[in-house]
Amino acid sequence: MKRFTKVCAVVLAAGLLMTSLAGCGGGSSSSTDDKTIVVGASPTPHSEILKAAEEALKEKGYTLEIKEFTDYVQPNQALSNGELDANYFQHAPYLTDYNEKNGTDLVSAASIHYEPLGLYAGKTKAVTELSDGATIAVPNDTTNEARALLLLENQGLIKLKEGVGLAATPKDIAENPKNLKVQELEAAQLVRSLGDVDMAVINGNYALDADLKVSDALAKEEKDSEAAKTYANIVAVRKGEENSDKTKALIDALKSESVQNYILNTYGGAVVPMD
C-alpha cells in the first residue's frame, strides 16, 4: 500500500511538473525567442514589404516570422496579448481610436510608408479643361473624403474654410469658382465611376487593384502633405518596447535602402516610403 501511495505521489508530481512546463511554453513565440521577430501584417502591401526586409534582418541575426491578418482588429488584439512583437497594417489615427475603444496601450514605433490618393481623369483629361459644373467623385468615408478635398484645394479647384483640415466635408467648401459638383461614393466604387464623372479621387490601394498607375494621376498627395504625415502606415508595438533591440532591428530593416527601393520599384507610386 505504501509503495502504491509513493508511486502515485511521483506520478502526480510529474504531472504537475508537465502542466507547469506546458503553461510556460504556451505563451507567444515573441516572448520566448530573442532572435525571432513576430510581426502581424495585412497581406498587401505590408506582408510583401516585410518579406523584402527579411535579408536585412538576417544580417542583424534575426529571423522574421510574419503572421497575416485579413481584418483590422485581430492584429492589435494579438499584439496586446503578447502573441506578436509588432504589427504593420494601420495608421496612427486608427491606432489611437483602437486604444480608446479597447483600453489598450499600443504605440507607434515608426512611420514606414503612405499610400497616396490620386486625382484620375474620367471624361475630362486635364485639370485645366474642367468645365463649369463638372463632377468630381470622392470617397464618402470621413477620413478619405477630407483628404480628397484637400487634394482638390491644393490644385486650386476649391477653397475650404480656414482650419478644417482633415475634418473637412463638402459643407466646408468656402469657394468653388467652377461650381464643381462633388459626388460622394464608396471608395471601392470610384474606379468604376470614372467613365461617368469628369474626374475621381481614388485611394492608392484601389488604384493599384485596378492597374491605375499613380504616375498617371493628374495630381496626388505628396509625402510632405498633412494627409501623408497623418495617415502614414506605422509599425505598432506595446508601450515601453519602442526602443527594444527587436523593434530597432525591425525598423532599421524596413527603412533600409534595399526595402525602400523595393517599394519604389514594385508599387509604381501607389506605396511611397517615408524618410
Domains, in order of start, for the chain: 28-115+229-273 (3.40.190.10), 118-221 (3.40.190.10)
Structure confidence at residue 195 (pLDDT): 95
pLDDT digits (tens, 9 = 90+) for 166-199: 999 999 999 999 999 999 999 989 999 999 999 9
Mean pLDDT of 200-214: 86
Structure confidence at residue 56 (pLDDT): 97
Q: What predicted TM-score, i.e. pTM, was given to this entire model?
A: 0.74
| Mean pLDDT rounded to a whole number for the chain | 88
pLDDT above 80: residue 202: yes
3-state secondary structure the chain: CHHHHHHHHHHHHHHHHHHHHHHHHCCCHHHCCCCEEEEEECHHHHHHHHHHCHHHHHHCCCEEEEEECCCCCHHHHHHHCCCCCEEEEEEHHHHHHHHHHHCCCEEEEEEEEECCCEEEECCCCCHHHCCCCCEEEEECCHHHHHHHHHHHHHCCCCEECCCCHHHCCHHHEEECCCCCEEEEECHHHHHHHHHHCCEEEECHHHHHHCCCCHHHCCEECCCCCHHHHHCCEEEEEECCCCCCHHHHHHHHHHCCHHHHHHHHHHCCCCCEECC
pLDDT digits (tens, 9 = 90+) for 139-164: 998 889 999 999 999 999 999 999 99
pLDDT above 90: residue 28: no
Structure confidence at residue 225 (pLDDT): 86
pLDDT above 90: residue 12: no
pLDDT above 80: residue 34: yes
Per mean pLDDT, which range of 33-47, 155-169, 204-218, 261-275 is the poorest?
A: 204-218
Structure confidence at residue 70 (pLDDT): 87
pLDDT digits (tens, 9 = 90+) for 59-106: 999 999 999 998 889 999 999 999 999 999 999 999 999 999 999 999
The residue that leads in pLDDT, 187 or 123, is 123
Structure confidence at residue 143 (pLDDT): 81
pLDDT digits (tens, 9 = 90+) for 94-119: 999 999 999 999 999 999 999 999 99
The residue that leads in pLDDT, 7 or 51, is 51
pLDDT band at 2 (very low <50, low <70, confident <90, very high): very low
Structure confidence at residue 135 (pLDDT): 98
